[in-house]
A and B are shown apart, each in its own frame.
Chain A
Amino acid sequence: GAVVSQHPSWVICKSGTSVKIECRSLDFQATTMFWYRQFPKQSLMLMATSNEGSKATYEQGVEKDKFLINHASLTLSTLTVTSAHPEDSSFYICSARDGGRQTGTEAFFGQGTRLTVV
């Protein structure tokens, strides 16, 4: 199956600094990527939908100025957590579909990034 690579796998940063997480589709073009946040023992919470060449669509309650999403190419989307605080500590997951907006196809997921803000 298709591969989505997410980097880094884990990161520790100091409060007040910014952290960038990359999500790459390695063997397909992903017009649309999705960013999720997952709290311990909970389900995935959609944060935003990232469309190549346009602004991301954020879910209600997600601060777009704190969680900056850039989808500059068909194979790369980035999530930057700005001015991180301990409450931003979480597991972040990206996913992408081969063929972009086609419904019903398998969504491929990155390995996830565990962010710890100290």
Chain B
Amino acid sequence: AQTVTQSQPEMSVQEAETVTLSCTYDTSESDYYLFWYKQPPSRQMILVIRQEAYKQQNATENRFSVNFQKAAKSFSLKISDSQLGDAAMYFCAYEGSNYQLIWGAGTKLIIKP
């Protein structure tokens, strides 16, 4: 069975600085997708970034980028130029052949003004 692990329950970063959130996963599948979702205090889940496992190039969306290490089964999220609006819970998620999302425990990101 697939598992997703986020080992950082909480992270804090100064506004305008860079922070990296960690995520590791375990799977025997070779083709899958990885996601980072953001859940702000409103609790609305918002897609931050998506990575296809067969693509070696790391996904980037504006200030958000990932470091995808397939062999190490690692999928970290880097947030550059952190903004107050980035404060939220961040969840790493895995999707394999059964199209269900497997979720990590989440990391609470605090932005210090």
Contact = CB atoms under 8 A, between A and B. Distances in A.
Given A93-B45, A104-B50, A109-B44, A34 B103 contact: no
Contact of B95 (A103, A109, A112): A103
A107 B91 contact: no
Interface residues of B, number: 20
A93 B42 CA distance: 12
Please report whether the interface of chain B is mostly helix, strand, loop or mixed according to DSSP.
loop
Given A104-B33, A111-B43, A112-B43, A44 B103 contact: yes
Contacts, number: 46
Contacts of A103: 33, 95-97, 99
Interface string A16-43: 0000000000000000101000100011
A83 B110 CA distance: 39
Of all A-B residue pairs in the complex, the 8 with the closest CB atoms, nearest first, are: A109-B45, A104-B33, A43-B103, A103-B99, A112-B43, A106-B47, A44-B103, A43-B105
Interface of B: 33, 42-47, 50, 52, 91, 95-97, 99-101, 103-106
